[in-house]
Amino acid sequence: MSIKTLDQILEAVRSKPKKRLVAAFANDDHTIEAVNQAIDLGLIDATLVGDHDVILQVCQNLGINPDKFKIVDVKDDVAAANKAVELINNGQGDIIMKGTVSTDKYLKAILNKEFGLVPPKGLLAHIAVTQTPNYHKLLIVSDVAIIPHPDLKQKVTIVKYLINTAHRLGIEQPKVALVAATEQVTDAVPSTIDAAIIAKMAQRGQIKGGIVDGPMGFDLAIDQDSVRIKKFDSPVAGDADCILFPNIEAGNVFYKTNSKLAGGLSGAIVAGAKVPIVLTSRGDSPQTKMYSIALGALLA
């Protein structure tokens, strides 16, 4: 049975053994509050890497019992990120989460060639699971936050990440829409050529586990009326489970529009490392951070 809502992800994770989260430089109330909520829901156990005194003060301000966490005292943000990665490599965590350390320092530790979490020639990509009031199921989308202009090879890898995420949500044959500005293949819009190549690769069995088609406009990917009016013939159109965006601008605008204008919800992780990476924005709500932790636990 496939998962249809983000709350069902919470239920699915609760039914499994707890995963262990390591938060890098967890000196802020937003991180500690989200991790605390995840613990209270029975989703995870957690280690907070950061300044011990600051963490205790934040817990006191929030009325949270610090004994819920294992605290590893590291005063410096770079050292805390490196320590969090070390704990994961030592088998002491299944998910890594960003605290107040900047994104560049956080990812630098994760990408470190000597002790990081990304295998040789590995690719990190942002995978978001979104829920909107105007669509009949979850949409799994990428990339909205990491890769500005993915090339053909990177897009193929991202499609595989999307399919894998869909499988973890219980979708046996996810429908992947390769979105572009038009469904016509034209060299004037290079993303349409990439989409056509990827669709043919899937048709020939080079990409397995899902039904992949494109190029198609976003309306054709998710709206049956548009499919009918345009007479567009595709097994994916109007019922997509997954969306591959042509670039970060398209994906990021969708992600924020879904949240800020459509009242949608989301959870997101970065795929491609040894463990799921939780990389939430300062502007993300506590609910988004909660769903992101749950998604990480589901994929771990």
CATH number of 6-118+274-299: 3.40.50.10950
Mean pLDDT of the chain: 95
DSSP states along 47-109: EEEE-HHHHHHHHHHHT--GGGSEEEE--SHHHHHHHHHHHHHTTS-SEEEE-SS-HHHHHHH
pLDDT at 207 > cutoff 90: yes
Residue 281, pLDDT score: 74
Can you give the residue ranges of every domain in the chain? Answer: 6-118+274-299, 125-260
Other Cβ atoms less than 10 A from the Cβ of 27: the count is: 24
Confidence of residue 287 (pLDDT cuts 50, 70, 90): confident
Phi and psi based region of residue 189 (left: phi greater than 0; alpha: psi -120 to 50; beta: remaining): beta
Residue 1, pLDDT score: 75
**135-169, pLDDT tens digit by residue?**
999 999 999 999 999 999 999 999 999 999 999 99
Residue 31 · residue 55 · CB < 8 Å:
no
Regarding pTM above 0.85, the answer is yes
Classify domain 125-260 at the CATH superfamily level: Isopropylmalate Dehydrogenase (3.40.718.10)
Residue 165 to residue 8: CA distance in whole angstroms: 15
